[in-house]
């Protein structure tokens, strides 16, 4: 599962959970692994400097401010993060793949194509919406603009996906869209 900023990926994933999916979130893996004392945390400190440590924690806002104003630092950070995310996701899949409590596995990866992880999965789904809607949903318009520049466009993600969910209505409409896709995903 992928999509641009503020298109509703997490909401779609929560709906997938209601339909029996085990869902793993790339951002949660990064949040968990990007801490002091972890190998990934130390690599990021080595890359960006100890100024990113605030109150004995790696300050994600400081990290963001540095990398989104310096494309080479962003690229170096992604080289650190993406393999860890991939390993963690595959490990979680191995742990639950034979668990009858889940009817399918979903990984929410905002940078799926950018990280070249699409081949790791049987099926790809892009969540999309009108760019104006996404911008309005975003809590921080300036941050939305800044981060969007470093992602593939929604149309590029849509064109590469096996399935597309358009999220431009209310929650009931979105749930209807997701429910139509569930039988296809379970059969994939």
* Model pLDDT for residues 111-157, shown as the tens digit of each residue: 999 999 999 999 999 999 999 999 888 878 888 888 888 899 999 99
Based on its alpha-carbon atoms, the radius of gyration of the chain, rounded to whole angstroms, reads 17
CATH number of 2-187: 3.40.50.300
Phi-psi label, residue 150: left if phi above 0, alpha if psi -120 to 50, beta otherwise:
alpha
Its pTM stands at: 0.90
- The ranges assigned to domains in the chain are 2-187
């Amino acid at each position: 599962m992928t999509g641009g900023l503020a298109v509703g990926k997490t909401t779609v994933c929560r709906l997938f959970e209601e339909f029996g999916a085990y869902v793993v979130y790339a951002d949660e893996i990064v949040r968990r692994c990007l801490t002091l004392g972890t190998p990934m945390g130390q690599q990021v400190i080595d890359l960006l400097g100890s100024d990113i440590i605030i109150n004995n924690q790696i300050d994600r806002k400081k990290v963001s401010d540095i990398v989104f104003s310096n494309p080479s630092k962003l690229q170096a950070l992604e080289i650190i993060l993406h393999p860890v995310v991939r390993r963690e996701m595959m490990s979680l899949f191995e742990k639950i793949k034979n668990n009858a409590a889940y009817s399918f596995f979903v990984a929410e990866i905002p940078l799926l194509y950018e990280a070249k992880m699409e081949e790791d999965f049987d099926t790809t789904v892009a969540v999309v919406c009108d760019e104006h809607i996404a911008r309005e949903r975003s809590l921080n318009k300036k941050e939305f603009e800044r981060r969007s520049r470093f992602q593939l466009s929604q149309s590029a993600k849509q064109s590469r996906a096996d399935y597309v969910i358009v999220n431009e209505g209310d929650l009931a409409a979105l749930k209807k869209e997701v429910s139509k896709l569930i039988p296809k995903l379970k059969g994939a």
